[in-house]
Structure 1
Amino acid sequence: MTIETATRTGIHRAWWVAAVTALVVIGAGACATTAGLLITPLHHEFGWSRAAIGVAVSVNMALYGLTAPFSAALMDRFGIRRVAVAALLLIAAGAGLTTVVSDSWQLVVGWGLLVGVGCGALAMAFAATVTHRWFVARRGLVTGLLTAASVFGQFAFLPVMSWVIDHFAWRSATVGLALIALATAPLAWSVLRDHPADLGLRPYGATVFEAQPEPEPGAARRAVRLLFDAARTGPFWLLAGTFAICGASTNGIMWTHFAPAAHDHGMPSTMAASLLAVIGVVNVAGTIGSGWLTDRFSPQLLLAAYYVLRGLSLLALPALFGPTVQPAMIGFAVLFGLLDVATVPPTIALCRQVFGAGGAIVFGWVSAAHQVGAGLIAYFGAVARDLLGSYDAVWIGAAALCAAAALMAVAIRRSSGPDRA
């Protein structure tokens, strides 16, 4: 049954677009967490310090975030599918180039620059743009689904990649990532469309037909203008601050340092990767559930609750590490999985409420703060491990940051805000 036939028989095309968007972000997400598995083999093969490898990881995470607002603006100018396919090709190129590195600066170029920009273009701002254009009803739910897809890609592939690294080589894993990106690109081109009006459709849940807006010239200029407009408001800085802490307490430490920290305590890397996969699987339920809750309850209060619980879980983590997986560690993985990306739907909802039609691009800037926070703790966590011989201080510091984020979330004012399109 073709997509067009299915649409005529009752399934709105928006759901097909959402499904393929989910596959795209799964493919991109598979690249986002692999860096943590590469630290040890790169350290052993080349003798690079963890801090030197951490530079490439930090650049990747920072560009992942800084690309998002420009990507959202470029989608307004050139269309969703062109930007998505270009990003997938960048990921493939960066992952492929990583296999031939011989110096740490080359790792910064391949993994830090190319993979970082490609993944950033397909990050949460991409999901927010698709949701904003194709859905009027069920936005919170779809946002949760797409965010869950991203996290599923980030974690579900980890045991496979860890097994490949253990039984073959780290280069085989990066080649596999390049092939995933290349295989996803044709699907994105064939199914994604920039706007429902391209097919003569209304967005899902809309009562009136919406004409496709004219392409926005000066995509980069518009993204920067929206940043300057948003930066004059208090809610923006509270949102950016909470999301920077979100990135520090998830991507920055869990993606990059959980597997090495577990290895420090005698746990095999494949077992540590499997725990991260548990987090990724549970994330699906946590993020979808958070989207459902966001449609019904105060986003500010949801954020505060999530950060408090996340901080408590991180505070307990140092005592849970060991050479084997105990029930308490499984409990941590389940709880952290429920909370990990649950912050995304309420944060996107608040960006829409405060900044109107420009909310997707503003959320891109908020996401940039998320990745800057992640990059900083990825680097300084590596430095702390080199200096202290342990990651314990990093987990405790991240828990304290989560407590601050909870207080900041409560302070965000609920507002309709001006339309800043």
Structure 2
Amino acid sequence: MSIVQKRPFGQRYAFVVVAVIFLSLLIAAGLRSAPSVLMLPLEDAFGWRRDTISLAAAIGIFLYGLAGPFAAALMERVGLRRTLLAALALMSASTATSLLMTEPWHLIATWGVFSGIGSGAVATVLGATIVNRWFKTNRGLMMGLMSASSATGMLVFLPFLAALAQSGGWQPVVVTVAVATAALLPLVYFFVPERPSSIGITRYGAEPGERDEAPLAGGGNFLTVTFSTLRQSARTRVFWYLFATFFICGFTTNGLVGTHLIAFCGDMGIPEVKAAGLLALMGVFDLIGTTLSGWLTDRFDPRKLLGVYYGIRGLSLVYLPYSGFSGTSLTIFAILYGLDWIATVPPTLRLSNEAFGDRSGPLVFGWIVAGHQVGAACAAFFGGALREMQGDYVLAFQIAGMTAIAAAALSLLIDPSETLRRRAAQAA
């Protein structure tokens, strides 16, 4: 018989959990953004081509997304805390091991494969699972806040990591990320219970006595659950619309801008620390914009919100190569682009929950996030390869801007009620 461990604050203990998860997501975002800071130092230290370094970043981003749905199912089967602790340990160990690298494949293995798998469990799908498990009300706001942690990760880490890289090379960056990740292990172990019922409370906003959501149906094999959920959701158009728009979201954010903006600025004569400061400024405005997006998602049509977000993003990317890269123009870009860097997450999660239900929604959302990271991986490699072929990043940013504008139009076609009508027809 399990023993219920009482915790203080009652239902408000959910905010303690959110604080620890926010910090975990922040550190994971710092890890995933570190390759953008490492690109130039690794090029100088080892003589590796930029497309080779971009390949490692692309693999890490791809696995960061692909691991999401499996992590969501694993959290249901073996436990959220166990899954999270194992992921953090893998992230810390893989980045620390990269201190020994001497060949490009070492970079791909450590910063690509292993850190990608580990950080995939400490990503957006973790936030979705926490929100659905610990909150009945204010879900949009909480998801917006946790989504904004990736922007805060840039805000906190990138200028500091860039300064370390500029003064001491790539090794101090690696040490900092490995130590920061390891420091999360005791916090998660002591302050993140499995479920509200584990500490004798109900979800925030729930009535007294209301039970937690039951685990996903589908047997004990988490791989079976993961793929069966994908098979069922892939039969609907709403899944593919969400997948396509989030593919473009990844393509136009951490894939291209997150990986290559510092290098793009370097090509334009802007020092690395100053360019990292530009990303940090975006982080400030995304923290504001994504939290506001969560509030708006609780109140307005999420499809229209997505249309606005993608439209603004596309115009910003089209503008950047012709901005002149002056201080004023870059500030304008950072504000416009930063306000909706991750603002698409709360409305996308709401549409996923509306279409597939609170129980399956986070797992389906994990597959949608996988689409985001596939798009990001494509852009990370595409940007580096096009830079080698063209000699600049102009065409890469123009293509990304046009795809974002296409996503704005595609967002308006999403209809979550399609799945409800399908279930009703099957029941009849």
- Whether TM exceeds 0.5 here: the answer is yes
Partner of 1:351: 352
Q: Which whole-Å deviations, capped at 9, do the CAs of 1:112-144 have from their partners, x for residues lacking one?
A: 011111111111000000000000000000000
Partner of 1:240: 243
Shift of 1:80: 1.3
1:123 aligns with 2:123: yes
Structure 1 residues without counterparts, runs of 5 or longer = none
Q: Is the 8 A contact 2:236 2:419 kept in 1?
A: no
SS at match of 1:34: helix
Give the whole-Å Cα distance in 2 for the aligned partners of 1:415 and 1:196.
Answer: 30
Q: 2:172 is matched by which residue type in structure 1?
A: S
Cα 1:211/1:414, change in 2 over 3 Å: closer
Partner of 1:79: 79
Cα 1:197/1:263, change in 2 over 3 Å: same
Partner of 1:413: 415
Partner of 1:187: 187
Give the whole-Å Cα distance in 2 for the aligned partners of 1:373 and 1:42.
Answer: 24
Shift of 1:78: 1.3
With normalisation by structure 2, the TM-score equals: 0.94
1:280 aligns with 2:273: no
Instruction: Give the alignment of 1:363-378 within 5 angstroms.
Output: 363-378=365-380
SS at match of 1:166: helix
Q: 2:294 is matched by which residue type in structure 1?
A: G
Q: Is the 8 A contact 1:32 1:154 kept in 2?
A: no
Give the whole-Å Cα distance in 2 for the aligned partners of 1:412 and 1:187.
Answer: 39
Shift of 1:188: 0.7
Partner of 2:230: 227
Q: Which whole-Å deviations, capped at 9, do the CAs of 1:33-83 have from their partners, x for residues lacking one?
A: 111111111112211111111111111010000000000000001111111
SS at match of 1:247: helix
Structure 2 residues without counterparts, runs of 5 or longer = 424-428
SS at match of 2:100: coil
Shift of 1:4: 6.3
1:268 aligns with 2:271: yes
Identity over aligned pairs, percent: 38
Q: Is the 8 A contact 1:95 1:111 kept in 2?
A: yes
Q: Is the 8 A contact 1:59 1:375 kept in 2?
A: yes
Give the whole-Å Cα distance in 1 for the aligned partners of 2:349 and 2:264.
Answer: 32
1:401 aligns with 2:406: no
Give the whole-Å Cα distance in 1 for the aligned partners of 2:411 and 2:257.
Answer: 22
Partner of 1:250: 253
Shift of 1:5: 6.7
SS at match of 2:299: coil
Give the whole-Å Cα distance in 1 for the aligned partners of 2:6 and 2:194.
Answer: 16
Partner of 1:313: 316
Partner of 2:426: none
SS at match of 1:252: coil
Q: Is the 8 A contact 1:143 1:345 kept in 2?
A: yes
Give the whole-Å Cα distance in 2 for the aligned partners of 1:404 and 1:65.
Answer: 22
Q: Which whole-Å deviations, capped at 9, do the CAs of 1:268-300 have from their partners, x for residues lacking one?
A: 000000010111121111111000000000011
Q: 1:20 is matched by which residue type in structure 2?
A: V
Partner of 2:28: 28
SS at match of 1:248: helix
Q: Is the 8 A contact 2:56 2:112 kept in 1?
A: yes
Q: Is the 8 A contact 2:238 2:418 kept in 1?
A: no
Cα 1:114/1:133, change in 2 over 3 Å: same
Cα 1:48/1:321, change in 2 over 3 Å: farther
Cα 1:82/1:312, change in 2 over 3 Å: same
Q: Is the 8 A contact 1:134 1:203 kept in 2?
A: yes
Give the whole-Å Cα distance in 1 for the aligned partners of 2:255 and 2:418.
Answer: 32
Q: Is the 8 A contact 1:35 1:255 kept in 2?
A: no
Give the whole-Å Cα distance in 2 for the aligned partners of 1:191 and 1:406.
Answer: 40
Shift of 1:211: 4.3
Shift of 1:320: 2.5
Give the whole-Å Cα distance in 2 for the aligned partners of 1:339 and 1:148.
Answer: 10
Give the whole-Å Cα distance in 2 for the aligned partners of 1:33 and 1:96.
Answer: 16
With normalisation by structure 1, the TM-score equals: 0.95
Q: Is the 8 A contact 1:265 1:321 kept in 2?
A: no
Partner of 1:178: 178
SS at match of 1:341: coil
1:340 aligns with 2:341: yes
Give the whole-Å Cα distance in 2 for the aligned partners of 1:154 and 1:368.
Answer: 21
